[in-house]
Amino acid sequence: MAAAPSRVAVEERLFSLVLALLATESGLTKTEILSTVQGYRQRYEAEGVTPALERQFERDKDDIRELGVPLETVDDPGDPGNNQALRYRIPKGEYDLPEDVEFSPNELALLNLAANVWREGSLSGDSRRALMKLHALGSAADELVVGYAPQIRARDAAFEPLNTALGKNQLVRFPYLNPGRSEAMERIVAPLALVQFGGRWLLYAREQGAGIDKSFLLSRIVGPVRTTGKTFPRPAGDSTAAALKSLQDFWEQQTAEVRVQPGTDAATRLAKRRGAVAGGNGMLALHYSDLNLFADELASFGPEVLVLSPPELRDAVRTRLERTAADHG
């Protein structure tokens, strides 16, 4: 009985495939790839060409194309139209950095570190593309920073399907729960950008029907994100910059006046908020972008904070405090 093939990580298999295709000018056939490339040859030697191995190769082809690798197929001149004779290759020069771009070992180490920060979760596609590009440079990185790699995850379940739809210009639908509502409403939108603002992820999108660009908190998407089967033309301009400018402008317009008790946790934390302006007698002017989230934050300080304006924020905080008091008898 043949020994079970050792498992090779997906990233290692994809990287080995890219290296193999970069190393040949004429390209490789499927059989040559499966029998020689790390990650395939182990299963090929144990089992030969199987439908499962071929499906794995087909998935990997799609993956590396999504990672921005210019993989192309070339017909065999002596046997055109024969899929088994197709050769796969990465055209010379199309996956290289510009000739005038060079990195020192220190710069390579820092770039690797930055890519590794995002290597898990729904951002792994971007990080894998960056790491694969860096590894392809063939230069040594400074080893002094190896091991110092924090990790950032996008915890909202909606992030990954939205990011995928964003890359393919696909319309999506999802249930969205507005504050104060007991039932979610279905939204159909054209995703334009995913941005982080104020420590939270938001989707900047054009709502269908209304034709208005809006921001949606990912934490308020309360069900699965599904594609509609339709695509949309991406508008001109930088949607990410437009989203951040819109959020910044709104944040600057929304100002609250509160009084905090000196020496309390509220006084320390709120005074350090971005854009906070301190006055006399514990007075603070604070900017915010979402009234309900800000009300949650202020209510968590209890009697340490008194909201003076605007009235709707004061009422929202009061409602939360009254509910807490009622819940605890």
For the entire predicted model, the pTM comes to: 0.56
For the chain, the structural domain boundaries read: 10-89, 105-145, 159-249, 254-327
Which of the two residues, 120 and 231, has the higher pLDDT score? Answer: 231
Average pLDDT score over residue span 289-296? 93
Residue 170, pLDDT > 50, answer yes
Task: Give the pLDDT confidence score for residue 140 in this predicted structure.
Answer: 45
What is the rounded CA–CA span in Å between residue 135 and residue 153? Answer: 23
Query: CA-based angle 21:129:158, to the nearest 5?
Result: 135
Contacts of 70 (CB under 8 A, 6+ apart): 90, 91, 94, 95
pLDDT per residue as tens digits for the range 191-239: 999 888 887 889 999 998 877 899 999 999 999 999 999 999 888 888 8
Residue 141, pLDDT > 80, answer no
What is the rounded CA–CA span in Å between residue 122 and residue 156? Answer: 9
What is the rounded CA–CA span in Å between residue 124 and residue 147? Answer: 18
Which of 242, 233, 305 lies closest to 276 in space, CA to CA?
305
The CATH number, out of the four listed (2.60.40, 2.40.30, 2.30.30, 3.30.70), of the domain defined by the range 159-249: 2.30.30
